[in-house]
Amino acid sequence: MDSDLAKAHELARAGDVAGLMRHLRFTAGRLPVRDTAPLVGRAAELMGFTDLVQAASAVAADPRSPQALYDYGYACVEHGAFALAAVALREALTLVPGEMVIVRELATALESDYRHAEAVALLAEHEALLTPWPDRYLLAYNALLAGDIDRAAREASTLPAPSDERWLPARDRLIRMVERAQAARSAGPMNARDLRGWHFAMTGGVLTTLSPFGFAAGMTGRYAYTTDSFGQCHHALLRLRAALRSAGRTPRTVSLLPDRGDRALGLAAARLLGLPAEPFHPARTDTVVVAYDLGNASDDLLSALYERVSGQILFEHATCWTNPSGVSADISTFLHQVAVAPWGERMRYTEDGEVEKLPPDDRAPEALAADILAADPTPDPGDGETPPDPDEALTAFVSKVAPLWPTQGPRRSVDSPGPVPSSRFA
């Protein structure tokens, strides 16, 4: 038995669903669907995914059935097993060449797995069969997220208005993303290392700092795990001020969100910017709304922040790039997978090399804000591999893209890393 398959059976026998699905995700392209489908069915049974159990059973019974493979691929997409879905749907497509229902679902699986260039190649292979909606939209969108701005612009420019109004938000988002990508290209290289440029193109947000660690080792400016500090918060507010000035934005207030960490950072921002602080109100204009991390925000708050209000700037210090909140900030300090706040519970090593857990800092927001402003804002030099990113680089970028920021549409986040890859925890 193949070693990858043997390992999968070992994980299945142990009932390690997470380990099994993680293993199959990375080996899906090397293992036949007929061998992996029963294992996926077993995992689905343990998770209570009845539709996936039935679909996997149908493939196990007849692994050459296009319908069974399609249904299985569709169920895998529904439950987030995109790599497994792509293998099954490709096999179905070889059995029924040119079947656009399969092509579209395969394109969706590839897009969801962030394999945007493969989605573009797939759709281009079937160009004569593409309809404007959704096919050419998917081609344009994936071309952009694969880094091909010119192709995305060409495809987007030829898209007619969709007859189904449910596609209107997608059309408007695509047009805005292409416009932002073109603007960002005037400010930077827009290559596979230009995290700030592509973050702006995809989300409309300005990223003010890059991680000083692991840039050349797979992170490309993002963090996987980081422990934040009061000094980094202070530096973030200085960068916020620089970005606002460079964009010609003159807010009249700072809006405070109710979470303790948000309030602490907001109070510090108000003092540094020399503005009055007021409780957040969704309709307030000419204000900076300050959030530490929107990952734990309530649905009501996220809904209130989703639509842009004239003159309202949403600043989020720590933005999760692997599990975005659904709301993309107008300004973010850094992108992380996991971030520990300066006032959160943290770990440290003792002089004896033992790991020690430190309790959270439960002081009032006012005390935390004072510590932020008293802390040394000098950024961590890191490992020396991250390209220099002085204030002048940030302000030059903001000056170039300011006409498109932040005026476009809702604050919709994008969970794809786009053309700038970064390593992540599985």
Q: What is the pLDDT of residue 129?
A: 97
Task: Give the range of the structural domain holding residue 379, as residue numbers without chain letter.
Answer: 191-404
Q: How far apart are CA 249 and CA 314, in angstroms?
A: 12
pLDDT at 355: 79
Domain CATH number, residue 300: 3.40.50.2020
pLDDT digits (tens, 9 = 90+) for 272-291: 999 999 999 999 999 999 99
- Strand pairing category for 253-256 and 277-279: parallel
Is residue 88 domain-shared with residue 153, that is, in the same domain? yes
Number of domains in the chain: 2
Rounded to an integer, the average pLDDT of 62-69 is 97
Are both 162 and 215 inside the same structural domain?
Answer: no
pLDDT at 1: 62
* CATH classification of the domain holding 156: 1.25.40.10
Confidence of residue 353 (pLDDT cuts 50, 70, 90): confident
pLDDT tens figures, 216-266: 999 999 999 999 999 999 999 999 999 999 999 999 999 999 999 999 999
- What is the mean predicted confidence (pLDDT) over 129-133? 97
Digit-coded pLDDT (tens) for 340-351: 999 999 877 777
Contact between 244 and 288 under an 8 Å Cβ cutoff? The reply is yes
Q: Which residues contact 104 (CB under 8 A, 6 or more apart)?
A: 134, 135, 138
222 lies in the same domain as 361: yes
Find the mean pLDDT for residues 97-111: 98
One domain for residues 106 and 204:
no
* Cα–Cα distance, 318 to 226 (Å, whole number): 10
Summarised one tens digit per residue, pLDDT across range 159-207 is: 999 999 999 999 999 999 999 999 999 999 999 999 999 999 999 999 9
- In 210-245, which positions are buried (b, 16+ CB within 10 angstroms) versus exposed (e)? bbbbbbeeebbbbbbebebbbbbbbbbbebbebbbe
According to the model, what pLDDT value does residue 407 have? 72
Question: Is the Cβ–Cβ distance between 294 and 411 less than 8 Å?
Answer: no
324 belongs to a structural domain:
yes
- Say yes or no to pLDDT of 385 above 70: yes
Q: How far apart are CA 221 and CA 223, in angstroms?
A: 7
Percent of residues, the chain, with pLDDT higher than 70: 100
Asked if 37 and 73 sit in the same domain, the reply is yes
Same structural domain for residues 145 and 72?
A: yes
Structural domain contains residue 257: yes
pLDDT digits (tens, 9 = 90+) for 307-331: 999 899 999 999 999 999 999 999 9
What's the mean per-residue pLDDT of the chain? 95
Query: With a threshold of 0.85, does the pTM exceed it?
Result: yes
pLDDT at 102: 98
Q: What is residue 346's predicted lDDT score, i.e. its pLDDT?
A: 85
Interatomic CA distance for residues 142 and 104, integer angstroms: 13
- Confidence category of residue 408, pLDDT binned at 50, 70, 90: confident
Q: Is residue 414 part of a domain?
A: no
